[in-house]
Chains A and B, each alone.
Chain A
Amino acid sequence: MSKSVMLVEDEPNIIEAISFLLERDGWTVRIHSQGHDAVEAVQRVAPDVLVLDVMLPGRSGFEILRDLRRDAATRDLPILMLTARGQTKDRELAESYGVSHFMTKPFSNDDMLSTVRDLYAASAGEA
């Protein structure tokens, strides 16, 4: 079974870029572009790694993160958060909610790829 990534993001061009990058590396990429039902979607899909944008239509990435961490099923899910707002307090907030990694847009493709790989490896090692 191939490793799966779920991407919660609303910018079509960024979705295309990340999908292209990860699929080329052999990941199965599932897309979700709404905020309000993202938590349910993640729990339904149960990906190996979650890439989560902060500014989403309907609901903020922080709230989604918080809810996921509260749920036993997704408490240990590796979550990479992406933000374009570039403020340190956003990073602090995300870390306080238990984010696995925090990344500011724009990112380099290599960083994105290696981060997703590392997160997957770490969670697999623990498991």
Chain B
Amino acid sequence: MVSFNVLITVAVLYTMVLFGVAFYADRRAQRGSSRWLRSPWTYTLSLSVYCTAWTFYGAVGNAARSGLEYLTIYLGPTLVFLAWWWLLRKLVRIGKAERITSIADMISSRYGKSPTIAVIVTVLAIVGTTPYIALQLQSVTLSVAVFTEFPIGNGGGSDLNATAFWLSAGLALFTILFGTRNLDANERHHGVVTAIALEAVVKLVALLAVGIFVVWGVSGGVGETLRAIDASPVADWQPSPSRWTTMIFLSAAAVICLPRMFQVLVVENADERHLRTAAWAFPSYILAMSLFVIPIAVVGLAVMPEGSNPDLFVVTLPLELGQEKLALLAFLGGFSSATSMVIVASIALATMVSNHIVVPIWLNTRPAGASISGDMRNVVLLSRRLSIVAVLGLGYVYYRTTGGSAALSSIGLVSFAGVAQVVPALIGGLFWRGATRRGAIAGLIAGFGLWVYTLFLPAIGAFPQTMLSHGMLGAGLLRPQALMGLSGMDPLVHSIFWSISLNTLAFIVVSLVSFPTPMERLQGAAFVNIFERGDGGIAPTGGQAEAEDLLVMAQRLLGGREAQTLFQREATRQGKTGYLPDPTPDFIALLELELAGSVGGATAHAMIAQINGQASITVRDLLAVADESAQMLEYSSQLEAQSRELEKTARKLREANAKLTALSVQKDAFLSQVSHELRTPMTSIRSFSEFLMEGGMDAQTQARYAGIIHDESIRLTRLLDDLLDLSVLENGQVVLNTQDASLRDLLDRAVSSAGIDGSKSGGLEIVRGSEGEGLSLTTDTDRLSQVFINLISNAQKYCDAENPRLRIVVSQSRGYVDIDFIDNGTGISQKDEPVIFEKFVRLTDQAAAGSAGLGLAISREIMHRLGGTLDYLPGQGGAAFRVHLPLVRVKRAA
């Protein structure tokens, strides 16, 4: 039996070899002699991070349980590499052109460098990858347990946990050392890639060795093995078409979208041409990896005792048959599979976490304006390292909390399904220019959410059984593994069906209805048409700008004096006389900054570049300029809107002013009228009182003058009363005193108040129809009487008929009563009708009528207050007025 210590020693020695290889490769790369590092073979071998411990050990287990289904895991990538080679080439080309650092960066770049998308993809990657890392830790500890015969299961013993912990720590150290040695602009890690390539060789050799041993050493040749396979239950498995399709799709998606695969496939790619080799070599590699899976499974099932874990046949079979060295090699193969996956995955994840989450937050929380040039590198490196520790820590914690349970064994496919959610946004973005940021976000969120709900949470056992059988909140349609009642499907197929179809639907629909920003259009075009771009990159050839040209441009944009001051200051700083400094890069940067203040950054950059004789302005520059112009246009249209607003306000003010002026004219006219009405009686009073004061006239004359004075005083008083009454009514301050009364009583009172006793002797004859007068009114009866009296006395004063007669006619309809006052005079001429209700209007020449012409104005105001109207009725023969009044006054809210 191999002791635990021997095993650990071998593992540590192997790890040290890996360290050495990585270190050596990095050194070679630094010195520039890295020809062999950049060979297509290294690239192809590094792609083998696809084959993790899950495939190394799990494929055999899978074959033992489900027959040939394990092949789908290899068929997917094979299809992609053989048939979709051009897709990979496009990815790699874009990755280089856009200096892509991760899958999150790739997708966010495509959609206008959207930070939201970057964060979503990063979170998706973390959620999908963490269980996978835990799975690797578990596979290593399980294989260790096999050698040392520790009990396998929950908790597994403290030594096993210690193994997992030290393994995580060691991997973190390795990843930090070789994954974050420096900040390479193109994010390539020669040391890591070389070590991964070595591990790829080790795991292939180990698996082949076990296979060869099984076929030739145990079964006794190919023919015997095939017969054993035919006899074994493994051959009886019938593939389920839907599950096969789903699995092939998933593994095809995974080989592109898994963060670690994207890392080695796109980010670490040194030369696009390496893909030519990888296109056939990588499928061959995974074919070799899968070659002996079935024999090992079949023989394992036959040889191993009942109930042994088929996931560990690769190690346990040689051990059982006494081949300890072979078993050790197999252990190292599994170890290599696990460690290479964890290393690359944590580099990829750490890059995403650092670039899209940590650094943006760090930049945002820094005080504005602080210099970020100097310490930026250190911050990014630190954040990478912390992210690596965090990612591995997360994997370890996940392993400790779910370790050994069945939850882990199926997690590989669950992870695949999770990262497959980026497929619509990624592939759609590569081939469809119409794809938009909003569409990508909608699709990602829909797919991610459905995946979590239908697959991830059930798989890790987060849902209670009632939730699975009865759905969320008891809603049967929301059963996580039978959405909308779609039951009877394999949970994986079910989840992929819902998440990918709704993801794609949301992506397409939202893309169609949303409008891309210029940046999105530009990036979309750059991604979709990557092959139409010329090979010539943008060479930053520092041309020679003429200081004078720069000055001319600066003057135009900054203004003459400012530009000269700026140039002169720089010239002085450079120790030159005059005002033309040397156009040093520092000065040009400063100038660009100054110009950006007035024309926008992109425009400033383009203008300087033009003068500086640099490469012609790129489409991107132009687009940014257009963007800025659009913003300025918008700004100016805002200004226009503001000035329109101002104009509107000014017009309103003018109107208000005109209204005020008109009011002021009216007020002047009113005051003139009031003045006239007051001064006229006062004139008589003054004049006659002076005569009386002089004395010397007969008693009769004296009495007559005193009488005039008396009458004029009463006229004055009445005028003042009317004015006050009108003022109160018009201001709405009048208090109405509502009470019940019979209309007949009110009319009787008004007739007698007007000084008409009912006989013909008063001059004016009142004719009343008795019908209709019997009704009862609820209103301010005093005010209504005032209106009646005014109308009757007007008839008295102005009716010019020989036998003046006033008819009072009452009619009633729908809660209202109409009381018409019609006299038999000549009436009011048509031209005067509009003015009779105006104040101070008297149509006759008889000033002696004794009123100031306020009566009708007051009456109409009263009727308005009582909720009725007072109108002139034309065409009635004489002057005719209609009082229109509700039977019951409705009190209006004050």
Contact = CB atoms under 8 A, between A and B. Distances in A.
Contact of B668 (A21, A33, A87, A109): A87
B672 interface: yes
Interface stretch (B50-58, B392-400, B676-684, B852-860): B676-684
Given A85-B672, A87-B672, A108 B690 contact: yes
B676 A14 contact: no
Contacts of B686: 106-108
B675 A109 contact: no
B676 A13 contact: no
B692 to A, nearest CB: 11
A100 interface: no
B458 to A, nearest CB: 95
A113 B818 CA distance: 56
B619 interface: no
Interface in A11-25: 11-14, 16-18, 20-21
A58 B847 CA distance: 13
Contact of B675 (A14, A18, A84, A108): A84
Nearest to A104: B679
Contacts, number: 71
Contacts of A11: 680, 683-684, 847
Nearest to A82: B683
B683 A106 contact: yes
A89 to B, nearest CB: 9
A63 interface: no
A105 B679 contact: yes
B691 A17 contact: yes
Contacts of A57: 845
Contact of B687 (A14, A83, A84): A14
B712 interface: yes
Contact of A87 (B675, B687, B688, B847): B675
A106 B682 contact: yes
Nearest to A16: B708
Given A86-B675, A106-B679, A13 B712 contact: yes
Given A13-B684, A34-B845, A84 B690 contact: no
B848 interface: yes
A13 B677 CA distance: 14
B756 to A, nearest CB: 25
Contact of B683 (A10, A55, A84): A84
B502 interface: no
A63 B336 CA distance: 119
A48 B268 CA distance: 123
Given A17-B688, A57-B845, A107 B683 contact: yes
Contacts of B680: 11, 14, 84, 105
B848 A12 contact: yes
Interface string B661-681: 000000010011001111111
A85 B677 CA distance: 8
Interface residues of A, number: 26
A106 B681 CA distance: 9
A49 B48 CA distance: 129
A57 B846 CA distance: 9
A14 B684 contact: yes
B685 interface: yes
A110 to B, nearest CB: 8
A88 to B, nearest CB: 11
Give the interface centre of B668, B671, B681 by most chain A CB atoms within 10 Å: B681
Interface string A34-71: 10000000000000000000010110000000000000
Nearest to B672: A85
Contacts of A13: 681, 684, 688, 708, 711-712
A104 B267 CA distance: 104
Nearest to B681: A13
Contacts of A21: 687, 691
A84 B677 CA distance: 8
Contact of A109 (B681, B687, B708, B848): B687
| Most chain B beta-carbon neighbours within 10 Å: one of A17, A33, A34 | A17
A15 to B, nearest CB: 10
A58 to B, nearest CB: 8
A105 B683 contact: yes
A12 B792 CA distance: 25
Nearest to B843: A57
A31 to B, nearest CB: 14
Contacts of B679: 84-86, 104-106
Contacts of B708: 13, 16
Contacts of B685: 106
Nearest to A24: B691
Contact of B847 (A12, A83, A109): A12
Nearest to A54: B676
Interface string B322-365: 00000000000000000000000000000000000000000000
Interface in A82-127: 83-87, 104-109
A84 B684 CA distance: 12
Contacts of A85: 672, 675-676, 679
Contacts of B684: 11, 13-14, 17
B846 to A, nearest CB: 9
A11 B845 CA distance: 10
Nearest to A10: B847
B682 to A, nearest CB: 5
Interface in B693-718: 708, 711-712
B174 to A, nearest CB: 103
Contacts of A33: 845
B847 A20 contact: no
A104 to B, nearest CB: 8
A109 B675 CA distance: 20
Given A10-B845, A55-B676, A85-B675, A109 B683 contact: no
Interface string B165-185: 000000000000000000000
A107 B688 CA distance: 11
A8 B808 CA distance: 40
Contacts of A34: 845
- Scoring B671, B683, B712, B848 by chain A CB atoms within 10 A of each residue's CB, the highest score goes to B683
A46 to B, nearest CB: 25
Which of A14, A16, A57, A105: most chain B Cβ within 10 A?
A105
A58 B842 CA distance: 12
Contacts of A108: 686, 690
A54 to B, nearest CB: 9
A72 B847 CA distance: 33
A34 B845 CA distance: 9
A105 B746 CA distance: 41
Contact of A84 (B671, B676, B845): B676
Given A10-B845, A84-B675, A105 B691 contact: no
Contacts of A107: 683, 686-687
**Of listed B671, B672, B691, residue having the most chain A CB within 10 A:** B672
Nearest to A57: B845
Nearest to B715: A13
Contacts of A20: 691
Contacts of A55: 676
A37 B245 CA distance: 114
A83 B677 CA distance: 11
A18 B684 CA distance: 9
A11 to B, nearest CB: 6
B653 to A, nearest CB: 26
B467 to A, nearest CB: 92
A87 B678 CA distance: 14
Given A16-B708, A58-B845, A85-B676, 4 more contacts: A14-B683, A107-B683, A108-B686, A109-B690
7 contacts: A10-B847, A13-B711, A13-B712, A85-B672, A86-B679, A107-B687, A108-B690
Interface of A: 10-14, 16-18, 20-21, 33-34, 55, 57-58, 83-87, 104-109
Interface of B: 668, 671-672, 675-688, 690-691, 708, 711-712, 845, 847-848
Q: Please give me the 4 A-B residue pairs with the lowest Cβ-Cβ distance, nearest first.
A: A84-B679, A17-B687, A13-B684, A106-B683
